[in-house]
Amino acid sequence: MTLTVQDVVAWIKASNEKMQANKDYLTTLDQAIGDGDHGINMARGFQEVVNKIENQDYTSSSDVLKDTAMTLMSKVGGASGPLFGTAFLKLSTAVKGNDPVDYATFTNGLAEAVNGIKQRGKAAKGEKTLVDVWSPMVDFFNQEADFHTDKMAEEAKNAMEQTKDMMATKGRAAYFKERSIGHIDPGSASSFYIFDALADVIGGKA
């Protein structure tokens, strides 16, 4: 697996399409254990990102990811903007000067992204946040010698679904305490769409 600049642009565009298509669902999830703005936040943020990156002649994946990060940080209100922004910024830094981005570089970039999210959110695994999708994805990339995009999408989906049984101890959902159990974490759902979009692009479907 390698990612060209065009692949990275396609990844971001495909992520945006999924955010738009699932905007209401993400909002519904956030209505259950938050303030109901996650769908709006992600759909608006990713649309702004696509507006920014389309029609630009990028020659490096790092630049695409940096613009993605900066736009998410500045345009997305709420906790999620800075968190997703940090993830893409760390990824951008990690892949700088490596075009096309090879598997090992990308895997390292994902690990850096997770570290960034954890640091920024002061969150660890199992606290029912987007860390619970990004972190298993790092493990997946680290372990899979025989990489399959279908398996990757499936793992991301499983990770998202596992947040249902967790009790939130970070973010707004933490106010719900035990009542947060039984609901999928909104940020994990949007993270699943990001990895599902990546699987589509690598698999040649987007």
Site for ligand ADP contains 149 (CB under 6 A): no
3-class SS of residue 90: helix
d(CA 142, CA 144): 6
Positions 34 through 73 that interact with Mg ion (CB under 5 A): 34-35, 37-38
Q: Would you give the binding string for Mg ion spanning residues 11-30, x where CB under 5 A is met?
A: -------------------x
List the one residue from 10, 69, 130, 202 that touches ligand ADP (CB under 6 A): 130
Residue 9 vs 79, nearer CB to ligand ADP: 79
d(CA 46, CA 2): 23
Residue 8 vs 173, nearer CB to Mg ion: 173
Query: What is the separation of C-alpha 117 from the centre of its chain, rounded to a whole number of angstroms?
Result: 10
Whether the Cβ atoms of residue 202 and residue 166 lie closer than 8 Å to each other: no
Query: What is the separation of C-alpha 118 from the centre of its chain, rounded to a whole number of angstroms?
Result: 13
Positions 89 through 108 that interact with ligand ADP (CB under 6 A): none
**Residue written as tokens 């990612």?**
3
Concatenated DSSP letters of 14-51: HHHHHHHHTHHHHHHHHHHHS-S-HHHHHHHHHHHHHH
Binding-site partner at residue 123 among Mg ion, ligand ADP, none, CB < 5 to 8 Å by type: ligand ADP
Residue 13 vs 170, nearer CB to ligand ADP: 170
Binding-site partner at residue 83 among Mg ion, ligand ADP, none, CB < 5 to 8 Å by type: ligand ADP
Q: Which residues bind ligand ADP (CB under 6 A)?
A: 30, 34-35, 37-38, 41, 78-80, 83, 117, 121-123, 129-131, 170-172, 185-188
